[in-house]
Amino acid sequence: MTSGAADRWVVNASPVILLGKAGVLHLLPALCAELVVPEGVVAEVADGAAADRGRCWLKGEGRPYLRRVPSLHPALAEWGGGAGEAEVITWALHHPGFTAILDDRAARNLAIGLGVPVIGSLRVIVLAKERGLIARARPVFECLRGSGGYVSDELIARAIQLAGES
């Protein structure tokens, strides 16, 4: 999926954590016209280490993007995934025009099945490179992988190619 500068994004916990570990979380607001972090995502990130960059970002610079999701969309009533994913998808369903930033495969599949546009952390990094916010994507991908993010060699190779690097 191609994203434009006018995109509106709602982001899940794993991208907040992984992009924080990769040192590019602060770029999220510059990559979209509107950014939303549901409170359920904040709760999931809060379970991490106190010094986690994602957790620190949500307490500081990311605070203006926090939003309450009053009730889950009926399509998610029986979904057994995390509260953060459910709130991200609910927000996108209740606010057309939002793209869900999700890394979890089951959540991505559910969102896509419900007609919600989806991108993941790797695509966010590619967009940062395309828009000149980072000089090179490969080191960011490697940092993401080195910090505990499970990303296959195939996905990294594809992302590096998308970023125009070899």
| CATH number of the domain that residue 96 is part of | 3.40.50.1010
**Within a domain: 139:** yes
Q: How many domains does the chain have?
A: 1
**Within a domain: 113:** yes
pTM: 0.90
pLDDT in tens, 117-146: 999 999 999 999 999 999 999 899 888 776
Query: Structure tokens of 79?
Result: 């979904």
* Closest to 40 (Cα-Cα) out of 10, 3, 78: 10
pLDDT at 147 > cutoff 90: no
**Within a domain: 50:** yes
The three-state secondary structure class of 86 is helix
**Within a domain: 3:** no
**Within a domain: 19:** yes
**Within a domain: 2:** no
Is 48 exposed, middle or buried (CB count within 10 Å of its CB: 0-12, 13-18, 19+)? middle
pLDDT in tens, 61-105: 999 999 999 899 998 988 888 889 999 999 999 999 999 999 999
Of 163 and 145, more confident: 163
**Within a domain: 1:** no
pLDDT at 48 > cutoff 50: yes
- Does residue 35 contact residue 28 with C-beta atoms inside 8 Å? yes
**Within a domain: 68:** yes
- Give residue 74's domain range: 8-162
Query: Structure tokens of 5?
Result: 């500068």
If pLDDT is split at 50, 70 and 90, which confidence band does 19 have?
Answer: very high
